[in-house]
């Protein structure tokens, strides 16, 4: 199950910058590379980035009662808890839907009746080639979670109008979660849920 836009999240056939040399400066937990490149104007520069290839999923879970299941998660680089949708990496051997189902279960103990793929996107294309695949999950029932030991997560169930009020007020500060909410809105409105 994919969204039509996902097929367009690929490299261009013609590349205006020429790679000259590559060094891996970090391999775990995620690779970081430094490429020496010749730009379209002939200038040689070093470019630091995470390579294309890794994918992550983001899930907006909605219960039969019309509540969104968001999370408050501690993020060490920020030194703060922020509001997000459940999300995580696509593991080796998984497709995006399998990863979305796993992350929903792990983070909030959720299972969904219906899955709808949303448009994919690049979260920070100046630094990373990571691709995000968001989903809308409907008919979500909550149970026991299976969080990773490093995850400090508090699930919060809110009526959809309150979630979108918070989004409009700037209270959802995670960009990928905000874009997932943005893309889900027309589908929620079409189903009379918002």
Element (H, E) at 50: none
Q: What is the pLDDT of residue 7?
A: 87
Is 107 in a helix, a strand, or coil?
helix
d(CA 104, CA 96): 12
Predicted local confidence at residue 29, as pLDDT: 80
Q: Which residues neighbour 161 within 8 Å (Cβ) at sequence distance 6 or greater?
A: 194
Residue 86 burial (CB count, 10 A)? 29
Q: pLDDT at position 10, please?
A: 86
Question: What proportion of the chain, given as a percentage, has pLDDT over 90?
Answer: 75
Report pLDDT for 24: 94
**Strand partners for 81:** 74
Dig out the tokens for 138 from the structure.
Answer: 């409907």
Residue range 143-170, pLDDT digits in tens: 888 777 888 889 999 999 999 999 999 9
Mean of pLDDT over the chain = 93
**Residue from 191, 158, 186 nearest 172 by CA:** 158
**Burial class, 54, CB count within 10 angstroms (exposed 0-12 / middle 13-18 / buried 19+):** middle
User: Domains of the chain (ranges plus CATH)?
Assistant: 14-49 (no CATH), 53-190 (3.90.79.10)
Across-strand partners of 26? 32
DSSP string, 130-156: -EEEEEEEES-EE------TT--EEEE
């Amino acid at each position: 199950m994919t969204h039509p836009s996902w097929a367009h999240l690929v490299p261009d056939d013609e590349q205006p910058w020429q790679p000259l040399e590559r060094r891996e400066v970090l391999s775990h937990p995620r690779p970081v590379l430094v490429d020496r490149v010749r730009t379209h104007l002939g200038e040689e520069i070093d470019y630091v980035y995470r390579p294309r290839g890794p994918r992550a999923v983001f899930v907006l879970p909605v219960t039969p009662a019309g509540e969104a299941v968001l999370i408050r998660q501690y993020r060490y680089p920020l030194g703060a808890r922020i509001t997000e949708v459940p999300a995580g990496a696509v593991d080796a051997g998984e497709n995006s839907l399998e990863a979305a189902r796993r992350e929903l279960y792990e983070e909030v103990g959720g299972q969904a009746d219906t899955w709808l793929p949303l448009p994919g996107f690049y979260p920070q294309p100046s630094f990373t080639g990571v691709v995000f695949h968001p989903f809308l999950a409907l008919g979500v029932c909550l149970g026991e979670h299976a969080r990773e030991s490093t995850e400090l997560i508090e699930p919060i169930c809110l009526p959809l109008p309150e979630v979108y009020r918070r989004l409009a007020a700037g209270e959802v500060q995670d960009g990928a979660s905000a874009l997932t909410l943005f893309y889900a809105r027309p589908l929620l409105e079409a189903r009379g849920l918002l």
